[in-house]
Structure 1
Amino acid sequence: MKLLYCSFVGLLLLIVSDTTCLAQMPLSDTAALSSTLPVTHSASPTRDVADLVNRWFPRLHITPHDSASLHEGKRFLIVIPQIGYTLQTQLLAAVLLNTPFRRPGANMSTVSTQLTYTQNNQAFLTAISQIWSRNNRFLWTNDWRLMHYPQATYGLGMYTSTDRRVVDMDYAYLRMYQSLLRQLAPNFYAGIGYHLDLRWNIESYNDFREFTRISGYPYGVQGRSVSSGPTLHVLYDNRQNSINPTGGLYANAVLRSNMEFLGSDDTYQSLLLEVRKYIPVSLQSGNILALWSYNSFTLDGNPPFLDLPSTGWDSNGNLGRGFIQGRFRGKNLLYAEAEYRFHITDDRLLGGVIFANAQTVTEQASRQFEKVVPAVGGGLRIKMNKISRTNLSIDYGFGMDGSHGLFFNLGEVF
């Protein structure tokens, strides 16, 4: 998940090197990171936080370094202490280790590990890698997580509430996602993978029968749950800069087949379809209209309760700004978001966004999409690195039924 980095040491390290943003991008989002960015025109030179610090504290002589300039065969290790905040964790403290490197003719590869502990007594260790072979012929990705993650859940469907029928759950979680993709054409990849979601010591803080009655779903709500199966991947990505795209298209499809003989509680299939489109409003302003569609479907069978598509459970935890993670859950999920990104200052140190999104999940009884819930909001962008265009994002979102909250990201939300 993306977090606010506000520790003093972490902020200074971020100014000097932006490689941490690679660890926070989606697993397939490093494509063409080192490509040349489109040239836009502004009334004054672009500035970032390092320029601001140099102006205020000239004796520090901070020189921004961009990881995209890392020479082939070279690698280094960065250790980043962090503090942050999310709606589902409240305050948190973390340590991130990141190692970027580049093979000949390839995009940037990165290996990162993060250890986190939160105010809600949640603890998790993550290891995320994106490794490009020579000349980008192959892309290997993995997303491994070990978590103790107590969290509130609100049942199934769109007619749930945050002030009644809320169930606090506790569980341990092991995720092991890995895939190998091969380039079939420029910007186009396909491949296979294996996904495992294993949860154990699942407990709810009310009676199990009551929880099943509230949710109407008896699968994987206590004890242990397993989803295990192979995946097929298709990816197209022609963005020139995936950290902060100025144009282009990203499209990703993942078909997953969970099988009992591989350890799954049930044989079921799921499909993820995700598209992101970035439309320049004008080269003069540099403003961007960004569109995001994220859709997850259960094709057949019964996934465990905690593996059902849900708010905030995309790979980066950003789906559904305006609502807490896990707020809506169902067998199928449709999501769309539009965000207008604009500059506030001529030097592009400060920017802003306004956004609107809408989500819906199918109801357990009717298996239909019956209700769509919108959210709106806005935020600030602070330029942390002008070479890679990495921003610190601070957003406030408003959803239905009084839902609202503050959301932080290093890099753009999508």
Structure 2
Amino acid sequence: MKTALFFGYLFLIPSLLLSQENTTGNYTPNKFHQFSFIPLPAVASNPANGWMFGFAPSASWYMGNPKSTKLSNLVGNLLYTTKKQWIFSSRHTVYLADNSAMLIGDWRYFLTSQPTFGLGSSTPNALAENPNRYGVYWGEQQMDFTLIRFYEAYLKRVGDSKFYLGVGYHLDIHTRISNFISETSDPLVVFAHEDYNLSKGFDPDRYTLSGVTLNAVMENRDMAVSPYERNFAWMQYKINPAFLGSDQSSSTLLLDYRHYFNLNPQRKRHLIGVWGMGNFLISGDLPYMNLPSIGWDMFGRSGRAYAQGRFRGANMVYGEAEWRFPLQKNKETFGATVFVNGATFSGGKPVPMLGSKSYSEKLFEKINPGYGLGLRVMINKEKRTTIAADYAIGQKGNSGFYLNINETF
């Protein structure tokens, strides 16, 4: 019953919003303008989930006059995977009339599994035959868990500028966490997830992170879902006090910057995009699954070539560059991309307990690169709604195929 209520809540607000459809060509105050909804069947694949089947609906609309209001967007997932996972999510960026304010939301309910490898940038792919000398497993270890996530932020525009300031609330609840490996585990060796949480004073079976965010955004892109030019920046300071439900008090800082360099004024789809992101633990400690990790950004687009959660640590720095270009001389339907990325993680703060020395790796001691190419099919030219298919290769045999709606960043 609780699960059903949660699903109802998760999709009720988007449903109410989208039900106020206005498909006419004339602007009508207080109604959606140029609303479009794509109930796209999903057949996709990535290293963390295997093959996924279900629906990936996408909606776009204007909350005000399109001449003075940016395009709002919602992307959802209702998926079942070949790894017996259930994934329900809804992510949105909504611009109110005349760009007076914006809403940024990330809602998820996962019944899922995911391998973890330990902390830092140097963890091996395969489980080490002899666990590291500190008594902690090193390499691939499977985890089952349930995740409930509710993130929502409201930002008010500063005058007529490109800047927005605002606050938000965030909640992550991880439950039913279990760790295992395919072989019988050694009772004298500790799983990386359990070792970290026990050493930091967290319950390894369940934990909660709840708090508020202070947000500053510069939105200067011509269109958020598939930009052709200009830039975007987001700074978020997240405060997780115990009195709001967090298991321990902590704070983090997220920095996100994206820039788009147009290479041809006559064919604006021909461009180079760059993306830089940093996620840093400022104070206190975070539960293991709340530590910065590859592929756990809002839309799960970082780190193509590596499975979601492949690298994790107290601090993360990530960079990516992508060359995008059309494949047709006079049409925009088909395009392609070539990209390269890199990520580095710190292992965490050493503590004088079992396994603590395996957390002492620093940022930039090792960088894990990825590279690849992709195909783009634009199914709505006016709103630049695009189906993206990418193949990426990383180090030590890591690779992956990715199928998504809209550009990676």
Answer yes or no: same fold by TM over 0.5.
yes
Matching residue within 319, 335, 339 for 1:355: 339
**CA deviation vs aligned residue, 1:55-90 (integer Å, no higher than 9, x gap):** xxxxxxxxxxx9896844246765443222222111
Is 1:222 paired with 2:204? yes
The Cα of 1:334 is off from its aligned counterpart by: 0.3
Check the 8 A contact 1:221/1:306 in 2, yes or no.
no
Q: How far does the alpha carbon of each residue in 1:234-289 deviate from its partner, in whole angstroms, 9 at most, with x for none?
A: 00011112222111110001100111111111111001100000001121453201
Structure 2 partner of 1:156: 119
**Aligned pair 1:205/2:180, yes or no?**
yes
Task: Give 1:293's aligned residue.
Answer: 276
Asked if residue 83 in structure 1 is aligned to residue 43 in structure 2, the reply is yes
Gaps of 5+ in 2: 1-13, 15-21, 128-138, 349-358
Q: What is the rounded CA distance, in whole Å, between the counterparts of 2:204 and 2:110 in structure 1? A: 17
What is the RMSD of the two structures over their aligned residues, measured on CA atoms? 2.6
2 CA distance for matches of 1:94 and 1:70? 35
Cα offset for 1:113? 4.8
TM-score (norm. length: structure 1): 0.78
8 Å contact 1:155–1:215 — kept in the other structure? no
Report the Cα distance in structure 2 between the residues aligned to 1:76 and 1:376, rounded to whole angstroms: 33
Question: CA contact under 8 A between 2:312 and 2:347: conserved in structure 1?
Answer: no
The answer to whether the aligner puts 1:267 opposite 2:249 as a matched pair is yes
Which whole-Å CA distance do the structure 2 matches of 1:329 and 1:112 have between them? 26
Contact (CA 8 Å) 2:91, 2:299: kept in 1 or not? Answer: no
Aligned with residue 165 of structure 2, among 177, 190, 202: 190
Percent identical pairs in the alignment equals 29
Partners of 1:101 and 1:373 lie apart in 2 by 38
Q: Secondary structure at the match of 1:251?
A: strand
Whether contact under 8 Å (1:309, 1:332) holds in the other structure is yes
TM-score scaled by structure 2?
0.79
Q: Is 101-110 or 121-130 further displaced after alignment?
A: 101-110
Q: Which runs of 5 or more structure 1 residues have no equivalent in the other structure?
A: 1-22, 24-65
Q: Give the count of matched residue pairs.
A: 350
Q: Per chain length, whose mean CA-contact separation is higher, i.e. which structure has more relative contact order (CA < 8 Å, sep 6+)? A: 1
- CA–CA distance in structure 2, aligned partners of residues 251 and 212 of structure 1: 37
Q: Which amino acid aligns with 1:251?
A: A
Give the letter for the 1:390 counterpart: T
What is the deviation of 1:318? 1.0
1:115: how far off?
2.1
Counterpart Cα distance in 1 of 2:254 and 2:227: 22
Match of 2:258 in 1: 276
CA contact (8 A) 1:175 1:196 kept: yes
**Is the contact made by 1:203 and 1:221 (CA closer than 8 Å) also made in structure 2?**
no
Deviation at 1:128, TM superposition (A): 3.5
1:350–1:138 distance in 2 versus 1, CA, 3 Å: closer
Q: For 1:180-212, what per-residue CA distance to the aligned partner results, in whole angstroms no more than 9, with x for missing partners?
A: 110004221010011111111111115687344
Of 177, 196, 214, the residue aligned with 1:232 is: 214
Could you give the per-residue CA deviations for residues 76-116 of structure 1, whole angstroms, max 9, x where no partner exists? Answer: 76544322222211122223555655433443445565422
CA distance in 1, matches of 2:383, 2:295: 26
